[in-house]
Amino acid sequence: MKTRYVFLLLVSAAAIAALLPSRGHGMDRGQDQSSGRAASRPEASTGMPAGGMLSILRHGNWECALPGDAGGEAFVPVPAEAFRIGTASSYDSPTGSGIYLLRGREVVFTRGPKKDQRFKVLGENTLQKLAADGSLTKLICTRVGNGI
């Protein structure tokens, strides 16, 4: 087989593997129910994102706003929702500081005053708040500076 065909097959297989839902290693959930092994596996918490690469948000000041209307302001700032991302997955807000987790395209604030708030990553500098049921809200947060 020609080298380019082998290369194309390899790239195609890698792309397919990356797009398929990941499966745990080892036994399937249905196997070995009698020993309780499947039952002892940790399940994903409803407050935590289910999958994706761990990452960090860009450091700096993030301001949040609600959409305005055509007859007035384009957006309405919500200073109480603003925060500053620092090192080690930490954040500071007007009411205190805490820690967040960015996994895949979802941010979850895990400690501090914003605990259990979730956001969807829309872009490198833009987040949209999620409601408790996972639906998108109208609140958008944008990174406005590097915090220096």
Average pLDDT for runs of 10 along the chain of length 148: 66 68 46 45 49 91 94 92 96 96 96 97 96 96 83
Specify the pLDDT at position 24.
Answer: 45
Task: State pLDDT tens for residues 49-85.
Answer: 557 899 999 999 999 999 998 888 899 999 999 999 9
Q: Is 123 helix (H, G, I), strand (E, B) or coil?
A: strand
Asked whether the beta carbons of 147 and 84 are under 8 A apart, the reply is: yes
Tokens (6 digits) for 122: 């829309």
Specify the pLDDT at position 49.
Answer: 53
Provide the CATH topology of domain 54-148: Lipocalin (2.40.128)
